[in-house]
Amino acid sequence: MHDPHALAADATLLDRAMDAFAAQAPALPLAVALSGGADSSALLVACAERWPGQVRAWHVHHGLQAAADDFERHCAALCARWDVPLQVRRVDARHAPGQSPEDAARQRRYEAFDALAGADSSGVAIKTVVIAQHADDQVETVLLALSRGAGLPGLAAMPARWRRGDADYHRPLLAVPGPAVRAWLRQRGENWVEDPSNQNPRYTRNRIRAQLLPALETVFPEFRATFARSARHAAQAQTLLRELAAQDLTACGNPPRLQALRALSPARQANLLRHWLASAHGQTPSAAQLAELQRVLAACATRGHHIALRVGRGQALRQGEHLVWRADAG
């Protein structure tokens, strides 16, 4: 019987993943999102080995913990050893009331990437950005989505590739177990900085990593691959739903006509409403808000029927024969 721990720590998996990424012929030069942890440090080294002189490093200093300066120093030393130009952006990543600290930091980070992608220190526009999330991160994302009762967008987890602005973003290590990433880095004699927050059991991701992943590895040694396959199936299904919603929105109008909405099946109506609110207004209704909106639509059989429901950060309203959405004032 295979030792699941040995399989997870197979350092050759990272080389194979990088071979697959290189086969996609990414546009060069490329930028590595470098936090200073083991995963991004390994990705930087792997890219610098394959494309010497064609790699840049971007480090975002969030300023949220005392160790932030240690991360920056490690990134500077690593980049100096591998002759990789480093750009550092300092951001205010404090979260707003009601916003999760993780979401706030992610938003500020991508805003910094947007600015850096326009032109690096040499004036060259960056068309390829690589991020170091790996298979364990993907499993954690799927488990978090399951725990929250997420729909297909949540279960699809993190895409291996997507476009933001004028740059293509990639996660080349998404099929590589976390232990394999660290084993690969140790083989090259490189170190990294441990994020102190990774040991804090207050964060659900840390409890999943410390308690659930070892148990899954014992019972289902191939869980990383099977979870990733399920996420890909969910992503494919979500793509089909998005295409259907776009077609239905074209047929129903934008804003949608009430009569056309009422003619759709409940599931198709919900799919269209979610798509319309997200694409036209940047809103994600809660399950309760969407169910109430559909209940009101079902009862909206006369011209005088009034609609005024809270949805997201505004209200869904009846305007003549159409359903519209208005943001809260101020």
Supply the CATH number for residue 44's domain: 3.40.50.620
In what helix (H) or strand (E) does residue 63 lie, and over which residues does it extend? none
pLDDT 10s digits, 149-176: 998 999 999 999 999 988 999 999 999 9
Report phi then psi at 131, rounded to 5.
-125, 145
Range of the domain at 185: 4-227
Q: Give dist(CA 176, CA 137) in Å, integer.
A: 10
Residue 248 domain flag = no
pLDDT 10s digits, 263-314: 999 999 999 999 999 999 999 999 999 999 999 999 987 777 889 999 988 9
Q: Are residues 291 and 211 in the same domain?
A: no
Within 10 Å of residue 39's Cβ, how many Cβ atoms?
22
User: For position 1, what pLDDT does the model report?
Assistant: 39
Q: Are residues 114 and 258 in the same domain?
A: no
Residue 237 domain flag = no
Residue 232 domain flag = no
User: For position 2, what pLDDT does the model report?
Assistant: 47
Please name the residues in contact with 229: beta carbons below 8 A apart, sequence gap of 6 or more: none
In what helix (H) or strand (E) does residue 89 lie, and over which residues does it extend? strand 86-90
The model carries a pTM of 0.86
Domains: count for the chain: 2
Q: Are residues 155 and 280 in the same domain?
A: no
Q: Are residues 301 and 155 in the same domain?
A: no
Q: Are residues 180 and 222 in the same domain?
A: yes
Residue 285 domain flag = yes
Residue 156 domain flag = yes
pLDDT 10s digits, 65-106: 667 788 899 999 999 999 999 999 887 766 667 666 677 777
Supply the CATH number for residue 286's domain: 1.20.59
Q: How many residues does the chain have?
A: 330
Q: Are residues 260 and 159 in the same domain?
A: no
Residue 47 confidence class, pLDDT cut points 50, 70, 90: very high
Strands annotated E in 105-213: 128-130, 161-164, 167-170
